[in-house]
Amino acid sequence: MSLFTRKMVCQELVEVVTAYFDRSLSRRDRRRFEAHIRGCEHCTAYVEQMRLLIVATGHLTEEDIPAEAREDLLAAFRGWSDGRASS
Amino acid sequence: MVPFSALAGASDEPDPSVAADRFLGPDSPHPGAWAAPPVAWPQEKLLEKETLGVIEMAIDELPEAQRDVILLRDIDGWTPMEVSDALGITDGNQRVLLHRARSRVRAALEAYLNPEIAGGAP
């Protein structure tokens, strides 16, 4: 790895937050991400917003989502595992 | 019927996660740094009924493919692999869709919680 790895800037960080959460960043980009976060209160706030959003979204249930959206989704799975889709 | 994979096409239009005008431009001393930074959200506010309603409405307005992925990942709790297998898309593609979905919903939530800074939603 280069000793002169380019620093991650805020505008780049917001594009890779999901990859960071999914642990799918390369080791190099993960390091750049974490190095940036340590020194940037604004990006720390951004990442925290995303975490809170994911937690809050997890509190929604299937009943909250309009039936129409659900039906579209289920239509996309027609033929896929019934047991899984009904859990 | 359009195959799902056709709806999931990743990079047709530029769709930044955060509006470009929230960042400093190329001529500034710190290009790409926040110009209009996000602020911390009060945790207790996030689970209020009205806030959840904003999230719900934002999800409902997403393009279909993005909405499907965020429903499965963040509401139903499926793993990335389960989602990509079920929808017949690549792991990278489901992540792009999830990322766009979350970014749009975050922007909608910011417009609600911080109306003073969220003028330039993407």
Number of domains, chain B? 1
For residue B12, tell me if it sits in a domain.
no
pLDDT digits (tens, 9 = 90+) for B66-118: 999 999 999 999 999 999 999 999 999 999 999 999 999 999 999 999 999 86
Residues of A in contact with B39 (CB under 8 A): 45
For residue B11, tell me if it sits in a domain.
no
Residue B10: pLDDT band with limits 50, 70, 90: very low
Of B120, A31, B45, A78, which is closest to residue B55 (Cα–Cα)? Answer: B45
Among A47, A73, A81, A87, pick the best mutation site for testing chain B contact (most B Cβ within 10 A): A73
Query: Taking the model in full, what pTM does it have?
Result: 0.82
For residue B26, tell me if it sits in a domain.
no
AA letter at A20: Y
Tokens describing residue B88: 């017949």
CATH number for the domain that contains residue B87: 1.10.10.10
DSSP H or E segment with residue B9: none
pLDDT digits (tens, 9 = 90+) for B35-62: 999 999 998 899 899 999 999 999 999 9
User: Are A54 and A24 contacting, i.e. CB atoms less than 8 angstroms apart?
Assistant: no
Range of the domain at B109: 46-117
The alpha-carbon gap from B65 to the nearest alpha carbon of chain A, in Å, equals 9
The alpha-carbon gap from A12 to the nearest alpha carbon of chain B, in Å, equals 7
For residue B35, tell me if it sits in a domain.
no
**ipTM of the predicted structure?**
0.87
Rounded percentage of chain A residues whose pLDDT exceeds 70: 66
Distance CA A50, CA A21 (A): 10
